[in-house]
Each structure stands twice: as C-alpha cells, then as structure tokens.
Amino acid sequence: MITLQKPTREAPLQAVAANVTGSVRSLMGGRKPLEFRRVDRAGSIYSLAPVAIKDDQTLTFDLDVKAVDGSATVPVQFNQRFYTR
C-alpha cells in the first residue's frame, strides 16, 4: 500500500492522487512488475498491488510514485521480509 500526502493550510497531511509503477524482486533476482489500483476512501487515497509471498522471504520493491498533477515524483526502494505463520 502506497499513499502520497502533502501538507496544506487546511490539513497537515492532505492525500494526493498518484500514479504508482514499479516492480518487486526476490534475493535470487527474479523481477516481476506490479499492477497498482487506486482506492479512494474517506478522504484517503491508496495505491494497492497484490504480491505473492512465501514464508521467511525478503523482497525488494522498486517504485516510482508520481503525483497526478505533476507536482512531485518520488522514487521509492525498500526491502521487506515476510512471514506467513
């Protein structure tokens, strides 16, 4: 789940619509593209993409988060270790 926010006078964290693209890769190097969908609920905007995981698996996420209005582009990379039990 990815959300982009910016401060405004009305709210310290205002949700901003974003286009998110990217991929996920395992430690073995296999890369898979992610397909994000936007969810807008109760004043929040999320970008979600399904990812298949295995127990005790570490995945690297490489994402580009671009504000729909063109005001910001943020590259994001992080590792996440997953446990299924």
pLDDT tens, residue by residue, 47-79:
999 999 999 999 999 999 999 988 888 999 999
**What are the CA-CA distances from residue 50 to residues 13, 43, 47, 63, 70 (Å)?**
26, 22, 10, 14, 26
What is the CATH code for 4-82? 2.60.40.3340
Which helix or strand (DSSP H or E) is residue 41 part of? Answer: strand 37-41
pLDDT of residue 16: 86
pLDDT at res. 50: 96
**Widest distance between CA atoms in the chain:** 46
Q: With contact defined as beta carbons under 8 Å apart, do 3 and 13 qualify?
A: no
Tell me how far CA of residue 19 lies from CA of 14, 58, 71, 78, in angstroms. Answer: 16, 25, 12, 18
User: What is the pTM for the complete model shown?
Assistant: 0.84
Assess whether pLDDT exceeds 90 at residue 15. no
